[in-house]
Every structure is written in C-alpha cells, then in structure tokens.
Amino acid sequence: MGWINRRITTVVMLSLLLAACATPRGAGFQREVLAASEEKAANGDPIYNFSVFPVTRDVLPTLAAWPVTGVGSYRWINRQAQPASLIIDAGDTLKITIWDAEDNSLLTSPGQRAAQLQDVRVSSTGRIFLPFVGEMKVSGMSPENARAQIEARLTQTVASAQVQLSVEPGRGNTASLVSGVQSPGVYPLVDRDVTVLNLIATGGGTSSDMKNPQVRLMRDGQIYGTSISRLYDNPALDTTLQGGDQVIVEDDERYFLSLGAAGSESSFPFTKDQMSALDALAIVGGVSDTRADPQGILILREYTSGAVRTDGVSGPPMQRVVFTVDLTSADGLFSAGKFPIMSGDLVYATESPIGAARTIIGLFSNSLTLYNKL
C-alpha cells in the first residue's frame, strides 16, 4: 500500500504545481498592463485611464508635435559676433597717463614728464573728471576712442599733451562663473567678443565627473539653457556674453526609469541631449532573452494637464500615455531609434507568455521525472 500512497502524493503534487500557473513573475504581460486602459463605470460606460500609441513610422510625425514633458526646457541665444574691443561702462576704473614735453607744464612737476591719474572711476552716469578738462562722458567708448577724446580735449590747454589709457573692468564689464568649473568666480570681459566657452575655459573647464554638463545663462531676469556638447558641436550657439551675465554649469537633471524584464531595473541619468528608446534600452542592458516579450516594450509617460489636446494632434489626448515598441520588426526598431525619451519616462519590458509557459512545462517535466522514479 505504501507505493500507492506515494503515487497518490505525487499526483497531488503535480496537481498543485499545475495549479501554480500564476507563478511569481518579475513583470506583467502586455495584455495585462494595457487592459487597464479601459475600465467600466457603474452604468457600464467605459472609463479610459490612459491612451496607447504604437511607436511606428506613421505615428512618429504626430508624436513629434507633442510638447516636451519632464524637466523644464530652456531656449538659448545664438552667438552674435562682436568687435574684439572693450566698451567702457559705468563702474570701470581708468588709469590715465598724460605726457607733456613742455618745461613749464601745467600738469607735471619740474623734472617730470608724465602725470599719473590712477583709479579714475567711471561714474554711474558714465562720466569722469579730469584736470583742465572737467567732466566728460566716456561710457560707450572703446579705450582707444576714449584716449583720443581725452587727448583732444587736453591739447586745447596743453598743446603737447599725449595720453595713454588702460581700463580695469568693473561690474558692468564682468561675468560671473557660479559653479560647475574648477575655479568659479567673477571674471572681466576683456573685450566685447568673450563667449560662454571662453568664460568656462578661463574658469578651468568643467569637472570631469559631470554627466552631460548643462549650461544655464542668467541675463536680465531670464534663464537660458543648453548643453556643453551642443556648444562644442555648433559654434554658432557659443553665445557672446554681456556685462552682468551669470553662468552656471550643472549636471543634467533628467532621468528615466527601467522596470520589468529589462537588463536592469533602476533610475538612469541622461547621457546626452537627445535620448531615443533604443538608447535607453542599450543603457539598461537590453531585455532578458528568456523572460521579456520583444513585442511588448512599453514606455509610460505622464504629461501635464495643460499639454492635453482633444484633437490628439498638437498634444496627447490624455495626461497618461503608453507607447508600445515592437523590437521584432524593422519598422519598430527604426522607429524606436527616432522616438525621444523624456525625463521621468518609465521603460517597462513586459513578460513573455512563452517564458511563463516554459516555466510551467519545466515544472511539469520535473514532476513527471520524480513520479517515474517512485
């Protein structure tokens, strides 16, 4: 009777194993996840929780017209080439040397040939005071033009006067490099053609451990933004600085998430300005060969309420949108390479039904082997 009891026990075990078809999984099936897009209200009317869009060549143009979501985007100012000369501004300090060859000079003591006027500060009205000249406006002039104007005014009194002039820029001719570089500080704009990259280089360059460094330019109460890589790639974007500008270099704050049957489940920073779905999948290590459904890669995104559009053309029809990617077709692969990932997106690799079936078959096979050995 013992052998009968053992076989009965084995049959019970097999039944329990087969009943465990809902074995623990690391991700849901695609149909399970997308089934929640439509629920029923008490009166039987459908309640739509989110929209579903396939990532295909036909759909990409529509999706491209939708607004960017996640971390706020900034506009940027293109470069405006300027002459390589300083423009005197209020707050600058002038050092003026006046040479006079006359023996009985009005400007110099006996035996001297030059009068030194140190630390002549340009007033808030852009003026300076000079002996035998009085007040004169120098703001808005280049140093060479100011020198010539001062000399012309002096020669009306001192015929042989010759003038040398140098400028130490004040706040109006400086820019602040706030953070993200080796040596932050306030730097003089030595001429009108100092650019953002010039300033960053003067500050020792960006820190080596920064990921996709972002540049923020604060000017006149406005914030402009771009990345260092864009400035490197396109010199036309290397903005010319103005006095009072503040430049901040910081890490890229954007990120995306990966869950499910992907190569890894974590939060990942953006490594470049434009990240595609294929870029994201490569960063997470692809998807599991034995578990993932290559036709069921989902990208979950939540837009702001202000981005929703009823036409579904200029914006998403609902705040929550799920984009589906099929990695088994050429169109799906090409389209995934052009589909932009946005900050906060969740890349979700669903479970393959075949993988679950293999698990159950493996359990059944092992159980039969055990049964036959009894």
Instruction: Evaluate whether 359 touches 365 at the Cβ level (below 8 Å).
Output: no
Q: Is the pTM of this model over 0.85?
A: no
Task: Using pLDDT thresholds of 50, 70 and 90, give the confidence band for residue 13.
Answer: low
**Residue 317 CB coordination number (10 Å):** 15
For 173-219, the pLDDT digits (tens) are 899 999 999 999 999 888 888 999 999 999 999 988 888 999 999 99
294 backbone φψ class: left, alpha, beta (φ>0; ψ -120 to 50): alpha
**Which two tokens mark 323?**
């984009």
**Residue 303 CB coordination number (10 Å):** 20
In angstroms, the CA 231 to CA 247 distance is 14
**Which two tokens mark 172?**
């109006």
Query: Would you report the helix, strand and coil content of the chain in percent, each value rounded to 5?
Result: 25, 30, 45
Task: Using pLDDT thresholds of 50, 70 and 90, give the confidence band for residue 3.
Answer: low
Element (H, E) at 174: strand 174-179
Task: Using pLDDT thresholds of 50, 70 and 90, give the confidence band for residue 69.
Answer: confident
Given this model, what pLDDT does residue 348 score?
93
Instruction: Evaluate whether 85 touches 191 at the Cβ level (below 8 Å).
Output: yes
**Which two tokens mark 9?**
């026990």
Task: Using pLDDT thresholds of 50, 70 and 90, give the confidence band for residue 361.
Answer: very low
Instruction: Evaluate whether 117 touches 98 at the Cβ level (below 8 Å).
Output: yes
**Which two tokens mark 284?**
């997470």
Given this model, what pLDDT does residue 90 score?
87
Instruction: Evaluate whether 200 touches 206 at the Cβ level (below 8 Å).
Output: yes
SS3 label, residue 351? strand
Give the chain's length.
374
Read off φ and ψ for residue 22, nearest 5 degrees. -85, 55
Instruction: Evaluate whether 304 touches 69 at the Cβ level (below 8 Å).
Output: yes
